[in-house]
Structure 1
Amino acid sequence: MLNSLTAARLRRYLQKTEDLTAEKIERACHLLEIYHTVYRRDLLLLRRQGYYGKCPPPTSQQLQLMAQRLTDAEGQIYSAQYILLGLKTLALYLTTQK
């Protein structure tokens, strides 16, 4: 679900939610972009190696890398657990909005 979602489309979905601030929307979009940079890159490598099963969950190494990239970009420290929770929250939100 998150693999095919663009940041622009996520922004449009989230702007319909009245209880989200512009800052939270931008952070969610940034998280999605970082997820795409790290996770999709690795998923494409798996596909090239012949794996075409269900998308595996992000590894702890991928989550750590995403956390580091978000920390570097925003100047605030984020943990791998924060990243995982954020991704799960986005996915849950999207499934309830459809």
Structure 2
Amino acid sequence: MTRTIEIVDYDPAWPDTFAGLSSALAAALGPLALRIEHVGSTSVPGLGAKPIIDLDVIIESPRLLPLVVEALGTLGYSHEGNGGIPGREAFGREGAT
């Protein structure tokens, strides 16, 4: 199966989209989230990108992961595992922007 990747021109709304997502995540995670960072190509002003907002949630310890999975689940995110990268955990959301 061939998958097409769409790269679009930079959208000046991406920082605001991230801010909205970050606020929702911060509210759901509370003190579990030490930081929430906008990462990936949509975080670079002026750069064309896949129109998907990537973000990192920094937590204190991997032992908190079950609580994070539960909290993010309330927002429609599903835990996708570490993708073969130790220390990393990925989440996705249907229809994510």
TM-score normalised by L of structure 2: 0.33
Higher strand share: 2
TM-score normalised by L of structure 1: 0.33
Higher helix share: 1
